[in-house]
Amino acid sequence: MEPTRQETATSTSATNKPKPTRKRPFSGKEGMASSVFIWPALLVVLLLSIFPLLVSLYLSFSRFKFVKGGFEVKWIGLLNYKKLLFGSEKTHFLGKMEQPTTLGWIIFIGITVLLIVTLIHYYRSDRRSTGGLIFRAIVYAILIAFAWLLVITTFSQGGRPGTMVVTWIYVFVGIVIQYAVALLLAVILTQQLPGRRFFRVIFLLPMMITPVGVAYLFRMLTDTGKGPFAPLWQAAGLGMYSWVNDPWGARIAIIIGDAWQWIPFMFIVLLAALEGQSMEQREAALVDGANRWQIFWNITMPQIIPVTITVVLIRMIEAFKIVDLPNVLTNGGPGTATESLTLHAYFSWRALDLGGSAAIAYSLLIVVTFFGIAYINILRRRFVEE
Amino acid sequence: MSVKSKLFKRKNINAPSPIAKIISYTILVIWTFVVLFPLYWLAITSLKHPIDVNSGPYYIPFVDFQPSLYAWQYVLFGDLQNDTIRPYINTVIVALTSATLALILGASAAYALTRFRYNPKLGTILLFIGALLLDVVLTMVGVNWAIALAVAVAVFLILMQVLAKRFHRSLGNNDIAFWLISQRMLPPVAVVIPIYILFQRLHLLDTRTALIVTYLAVNLPIVVWLMRDYFQSIPIDLEETAAIDGASRYRIFLSIVLPLSVPGLVATFLFVLVFAWNEYLLALFLSGANAQTLPLTIAAQNATRGPQWWYMSVLILIMIAPVILIAIFLERYIAKGLLVGAVKG
C-alpha cells in the first residue's frame, strides 16, 4: 500500500488528530467498543478490495488463457506493461508521437515555467522542508513528463492521443467546465431570488439518472439526422459533417454529456458552501464601499476554497473512471479517439486478454493515485490546513 | 446616509439589483432549459411510435405527432413486463439494502475514527498483506484454495509472533481514513474479475447478495469519509456529560450522536443510494438473468435491430421517478448534510 505510506510521511499532523485528552470520562469498556465500531466496516472493505487488488496485481504480471476444463495463468513478469509502454499497444495506450506544433511548444513551455515558478516559490517560502522539496521536485518532474506526452500526441503534426491521454483530456477539460458552470449557478442561486428552491431541485435532476441512461439520451440528442437539433444542424450548413467521425467532435460530445450529468454534483456542494459562509465580513466590506466583484474575489472565494479543493478531488477520482458515455455514445470511435482507460481495459477483458486488462487497470490506478496524492499534498495542504 | 438606513441595507446584502436580477434569471432559465430539454425529449420519445422516431424530429405531441402509450404498455404490461418488474424489484432491494448497511457500518466506523485512537502496527499490516499475497499466488499456481488459505494464515501467525515486536512504527486514524478513501480511486474494472471469481467460488454469482455485498464495499469509504467530518463537528462535551452520567458508548452513539447528525446521514444515504441504484459495470459482470438490475435492462434495449429508443425512454423515466421523489422530499437535508462533509473532507 504505497500511497498510504507516502501520505503518512507528509500529513500525519493534519487537523483531525484526536485532541489531547483533557479529562477522559470514558474508560473501562473502551477497548471492546472501539473494536465493535470499526471492525465490521474494515472487514468488508478488506475482503472485497485488498484481496481482489492483489489478485489483479498478480493477473497483470501473467498471461491468462482458457484451456480445456478451466483456465491457465502463466507468470510473464512485466511483459504486459512493456507491451503497453513500448510494444504493440503503445500507440493505443499512450498515442502516436510526433514533433509538437508551435501551439504545442507554447503549451509545454507554459506548463513547465509555471511548475518551476511554483517550485521556486515553495523554496523561498518559510514552509519548506527537505522532504517536501524532494517530494515536489519528483512530482513536478513527472508532471512535466506528462505534459510532454500530452503535447507530442495531442498538439503535434500527425500525432494522436492514446487512451491515457484521452482520459486526461476528459478529466481536466471536464472539471474546468463543470466547476465554472457550477460556480456560476451556485453564486446566482445564493442571491435572494424568488423561486430559488424550484431551480435548485431542477438543477439536481441530471445527477439522478443512471450514466448508461445519460449516454443513450445523449446519443438520441446528438443524432444529426433524427435528433432534436437536426434542423439547426442542417441550417448551419453542417449537414454533411458528422461529429461521430471527427475525433474532436466525438470527444466534445462526450465532455458535454459528462458535464451535463455532473455539474449538479459540484453545484449542490458549492451552493451549500456559499450559503454557509459567514455574512459579517461581506457586510463589513459592503459598508466600506467594496463592490460586488471585489467582495466575491477577496472574501467569498477564499472561504469556498476548501470545498472547491475537495469537490474537485472527488470529481477527479470519479472522472478518471469514465466508461459508460464513450462506450455507448461512440463505442470508443472513431478509431480509438474517444476510448478512455477503463473502456480500453474493458475491451481487453472482452478479448479475453485478462492480463493486459489488469495491466491497464493498474496503470490507471497508479496514475489516479499519483494525481490524487500530488493534489492533496500540494494544493490541499497549502490552502486548507493552514 | 443615516446609521439606521445603513443597518437596513446590510440586512439585504443578498438582494440583487434589478439588472443583476435580469441577468440572473436569464442564466437560470437557460440552464433550466439545458437540464429539462433532454428530459422532455425522453418523455416525448416514450410517447412515440417507432415510426415517429425514425421519420425525423417531431417536437410537440398532438401537433407534430399523435402520442400513444404503445411503449409504456409494452414495457409495463406487454412482452417486456417480466424483464421490467423483476429487475425493478432487484434494483430496489439491492440499492436499499446496500445503502442501509453501508450507512450503519460506515457511520459506526466513522464515529470510531473520530472518537477513538487506533494505532495499527505497520509491521502487522505489511505482514497481513504479504500473507494475502502468498495466499493469492498459491491459489493461482493451482494449490487448493483451502490449503492455500491455511498456509497463509499459519505463516501470518508464526511471523507475527517472531517479527511483530521488532516493528515500532504505527499508523494513526488519518491513515486508516485515507486508506479507505483510496479504495474509491480503484477503477471497478481493476477488481471486478477477482470479485467475479470469488462469488463464483461461493456460488453467489447472479444473486442479489453478491451485488449487495459488492456495493456495500464500494460505498463504505464514501460513508466513512462524509460522516467522519460530520461527527467531528459535533461538540464532544455532550458526550462527556452523558458518559459521566453513566451512559455506555453504544448508548451515547445511538441516542446522542446519531440524532444530532440526521442531515448528514440523510445526505450520505441519498448519495450511496443513487450510486447503487444506477451502477452498471459491476452489475454487468456479477449478474445474469436472475439478479439483473435496471441499468442492464436499459442497455439491453440496444438490440440487434438498433436501439429501441421508445422502450429505453420509458425505462429511464420509470427508473428516475422514485429517486427524484426522494430527492425532492429530502432536498433541504442534502445541502446541509453535504456541506459539513465537504468543508473539512
Report whether pLDDT(A366) > 60: yes
Residue by residue, DSSP assigns A311-334 as HHHHHHHHHTT--HHHHHHTTT-S
For the ranges A95-109, A188-202, A245-259, A279-293, the lowest mean pLDDT is seen at A279-293
Q: To the nearest whole angstrom, how far is the Cα of A189 from the nearest Cα of chain B?
A: 8
Report whether pLDDT(A146) > 90: yes
Report whether pLDDT(B343) > 50: no
Residues A378 and A259 in one domain: yes
Closest CA to B193 of A77, A64, A83, A343: A64
Contact of A40 with B108, CB cutoff 8 Å: yes
Distance, CA of A364 to CA of B113 (rounded, Å) = 29
Q: Does some domain include residue A122? A: yes
CB contact under 8 A, A213 and B137: no
Q: Which CATH architecture has domain B80-118+180-344?
A: Orthogonal Bundle (1.10)
Give residue A116's domain range.
Answer: 98-158
Quote the percentage of chain A above a pLDDT of 70. Answer: 89
DSSP state of A191: S
Residues A280 and A331 in one domain: yes
Query: Given pLDDT bands bounded at 50, 70 and 90, which one contains residue A384?
Result: low
Residues A362 and A234 in one domain: yes
Burial tier of B80 (Cβ tally within 10 Å: 0-12, 13-18, 19+):
buried
Distance, CA of A68 to CA of A81 (rounded, Å) = 27
Residues A297 and A363 in one domain: yes
CB contact under 8 A, B320 and A213: yes
CB contact under 8 A, A191 and B185: no
HSE-CB for A105 with a 13 A CA cutoff: 4
Residues A282 and A189 in one domain: yes
Closest CA to A217 of A206, A225, A203: A206
Find the mean pLDDT for residues A8-23.
42
Q: Can you say how many angstroms the Cα of residue A62 is from the centroid of all Cα atoms in its chain? A: 29
Distance, CA of B31 to CA of B23 (rounded, Å) = 12
Query: Given pLDDT bands bounded at 50, 70 and 90, which one contains residue A19?
Result: very low
For B13, which of A45, A221, A282 is closest by C-beta distance? A282
How much of chain A is helix, strand and coil, in % rounded to 5? Answer: 70, 5, 25
The 10s digit of each residue's pLDDT in B269-321 is: 888 898 899 998 889 888 888 888 999 888 888 877 778 888 889 999 999 88
Number of compact structural domains in chain A: 2
Residues A211 and A104 in one domain: no
Helix (H) or strand (E) holding A165: helix A163-190
What contacts A299, CB < 8 A, 6 or more positions away?
Answer: A281, A282, A285
The residue assigned the cell 436580477 is B21
Q: To the nearest whole angstrom, how far is the Cα of B178 from the nearest Cα of chain A?
A: 7
Residue by residue, DSSP assigns A107-150 as HHHHHHHHHHHHHHHHHHSTT--HHHHHHHHHHHHHHHHHHHHH
Find the mean pLDDT for residues A55-79.
81
Distance, CA of A295 to CA of A277 (rounded, Å) = 13
pLDDT at A52: 84
Could you give the 3-state DSSP secondary structure of residue A46? Answer: helix
Query: Average per-residue pLDDT in chain A?
Result: 82
The 10s digit of each residue's pLDDT in B129-164 is: 888 888 877 877 777 777 888 888 888 888 877 776
CB contact under 8 A, B338 and A268: yes
Q: Does some domain include residue A7? A: no
Domain CATH code at residue A261: 1.10.3720.10
Q: Can you say how many angstroms the Cα of residue B272 is from the centroid of all Cα atoms in its chain? A: 2
Chain B residue whose CA is closest to A228: B57
pLDDT at A287: 82
Residues A132 and A275 in one domain: no
Q: At what angle do helices B81-115 and B173-182 cross, to 10 degrees?
A: 160
Closest CA to A383 of B182, B226, B173, B343: B343
Q: Does some domain include residue A26? A: no
Q: Can you say how many angstroms the Cα of residue A191 is from the centroid of all Cα atoms in its chain? A: 30
Residues A133 and A181 in one domain: no
Q: Does some domain include residue A17? A: no
For A38, which of B6, B112, B137 is closest by C-beta distance? B112
For the ranges A288-292, B28-32, B216-220, B245-249, the lowest mean pLDDT is seen at A288-292
pTM for the predicted model, two decimal places: 0.83
The 10s digit of each residue's pLDDT in A200-221 is: 888 888 988 888 899 999 988 8
Q: Does some domain include residue A68? A: no
For B189, which of A54, A218, A345 is closest by C-beta distance? A345
Higher-confidence residue of A258 and A331: namely A258
| The 3-state secondary structure of chain B, one letter per residue | CCHHHHHHHHHCCCCCCHHHHHHHHHHHHHHHHHHHHHHHHHHHHCCCCHHHHHCCCCCCECCCECCCCHHHHHHHCCCCHHHHHHHHHHHHHHHHHHHHHHHHHHHHHHHHHHHCCCCCEHHHHHHHHHHHHHHHHHHHCCCCHHHHHHHHHHHHHHHHHHHHHHCCCECCHHHHHHHHHHHHHCCHHHHHHHHHHHHHHCCCCCCHHHHHHHHHHHHHHHHHHHHHHHHHCCCHHHHHHHHHCCCCHHHHHHHHHHHHCHHHHHHHHHHHHHHHHHCCHHHHHHCCCCCCCHHHHHHHCEECCEECHHHHHHHHHHHHHHHHHHHHHHHHHHHHHHHHHHHHC
Residues A140 and A218 in one domain: no
CB contact under 8 A, A190 and B14: yes
Where a domain ends, among A138, A158, A178?
Answer: A158
Where a domain ends, among A158, A185, A201?
Answer: A158
Contact of B183 with A50, CB cutoff 8 Å: no
Q: Does some domain include residue A70? A: no
Residues A361 and A319 in one domain: yes
Give the ipTM: 0.82
Q: Output the CA angle B222-B345-B218, nearest 5 degrees.
A: 10
Query: Given pLDDT bands bounded at 50, 70 and 90, which one contains residue A386?
Result: very low
Query: Average per-residue pLDDT in chain B?
Result: 82
Q: Which residues does chain A have within 8 Å of residue B280's beta carbon, measured at their own beta carbons?
A: 210-212, 324
The 10s digit of each residue's pLDDT in B61-119 is: 888 788 888 888 888 887 777 778 889 999 999 999 999 999 999 999 999 888 888 87
Q: To the nearest whole angstrom, how far is the Cα of A53 from the nearest Cα of chain B?
A: 6
Chain A residue whose CA is closest to B58: A228
The 10s digit of each residue's pLDDT in B252-265 is: 888 888 888 887 88
b/e burial code for range A85-101 (CB count within 10 A of at least 16 → b) = eeeebbebbbbebeebb
pLDDT at A383: 65
Contact of B213 with A40, CB cutoff 8 Å: no
Residues A273 and A327 in one domain: yes
Residues A174 and A138 in one domain: no
Chain B residue whose CA is closest to A181: B31
Distance (Å) of CA A379 to CA A68, A141, A375, B34: 53, 17, 6, 33
Q: To the nearest whole angstrom, how far is the Cα of A317 from the nearest Cα of chain B?
A: 6
CB contact under 8 A, A18 and B45: no
Higher-confidence residue of B186 and B12: namely B186
The 10s digit of each residue's pLDDT in A85-106 is: 998 888 899 988 888 999 999 9
The values of phi and psi at residue B209, to 5°, are: -55, -45
Query: Given pLDDT bands bounded at 50, 70 and 90, which one contains residue A43?
Result: confident
Helix (H) or strand (E) holding A95: strand A95-96
Report whether pLDDT(B173) > 70: yes
Where a domain ends, among A90, A124, A158?
Answer: A158
What contacts B117, CB < 8 A, 6 or more positions away?
Answer: A18, B172, B173
